[in-house]
Amino acid sequence: MAPAQPRPQRRTRERAALRLLAAGLGLASSLALLGVIWPESDRSARDQGPPNAADLAEPPTRAISVLLIGSDADQLGTGTAATPANSDALLLVQVNPEGPLQLLSLPVEAAVQLPGDKKPVALGSLYKRGGPALVAGAAAQLVGLPQAQPDRYVVLPRAALRDLVDGIGRVELSPDRSMRYADKTQKYTIRLEGGLQVMDGQQVEQLLRFRDEADGEERRRDRQQMAVESVLRQMAQRQQLQQLPDLLQQLQGQVETNLTRSEALSLLAVALKPGERLEFRTLPLKAPQQPNNPLRALDAQAQRPWPN
């Protein structure tokens, strides 16, 4: 059994955690103000379904930022005290009715220093320590978001990812190589061929979970971008648009979010409109100073592409 933690140090950690949680929960203080931004009506309730993206719902009146947390747990609440869920994908999304759809990938291996901690920890490990609020607070500080942003968050477990892909009728993707991996402890196997193909939810999960021996996380982010672009293209098809309201309803109990269904449809009405331009970037990191060190420092000299 580990020795008991000194009382002063424990108090310092508790205060630090509360400060960071308060920073993350600061986004909740703007929820009342967002009431005047989101449209009141939800036109997606039409019996015949939306013929195009604009008919999903009225768009918001200003840009909305959403933090997407890809959980490495299969379902919400399936992590244990011994192996709590981490985030293996973090995306900041800005949906602007007057501009391009912007996605900023936050490297999960980025080193962050929490108040009260002696050593930096990986950004991807914050979800198991403080949930979406702690991740949102850290992301806001890393990127320099205005106060009370990101406006919303979505935690997407792996089962919800699979159901999302299957719900929109599978997606077309082109892996750059064959992928083979087997984990006997988790009873999980990855077996994918390279080249253009149509993938179901289980195959997309394998694609996003696979890590190369060299530049593993960087290559995973490239595949994340490819998957996001393909999912959005498939969602924008007329038949899939008609099914989106029902699909969001089915996924509601599988994700953790402070987005309402009408708000989600409002954002999709912007993201899926014809000709919408997608800008995908990654928060810049420095080259690792120590071999085999999983943590990477932010590159303070590089241009920060978010927000505009």
Please answer whether residues 132 and 256 qualify as being in contact, where contact means their C-beta atoms are separated by less than 8 angstroms: yes
Mean pLDDT, range 88-114, rounded to an integer: 94
Residue 96 near residue 270, CB atoms below 8 Å: yes
The pLDDT assigned to 48 comes to: 53
| Overall average pLDDT of the 11-16 stretch | 42
Residue type, 109: E
pLDDT recorded at residue 234 = 96
What confidence score (pLDDT) does residue 50 get? 65
- The two tokens of residue 64 are 């909305």
Give the C-alpha separation, 230 to 130, whole Å. 32
Q: Kindly tell me if the per-residue pLDDT of 2 is higher than 80.
A: no
Report the distance separating Cα 187 and Cα 203, nearest Å.
Answer: 16
- pLDDT (average), residues 12-40: 50
**Lookup result for tokens 């038949």:** 239
Higher pLDDT, residue 34 or 121: 121
Please say if the pLDDT value at position 44 is more than 80: no
Q: How much is the average pLDDT of 61-72?
A: 96
Q: What is the value of pTM for the model shown?
A: 0.84
- Residues 31, 35, 37, 39: is their CA dihedral positive or negative? positive
Q: How confident is the model at residue 89 (pLDDT cuts 50, 70, 90)?
A: very high
Residues 67-89, mean pLDDT to the nearest whole number: 82
* Chain mean pLDDT for the chain: 84
Considering only CA atoms, give the Rg of the chain: 20
Q: What is the mean pLDDT of residues 28-44?
A: 54
Per-residue pLDDT band at 83 (split at 50, 70, 90) = low
Instruction: Give me the helices (H) in 83-214, please.
Output: 126-143, 158-167, 201-209
The label of the residue with tokens 């449809």 reads 265
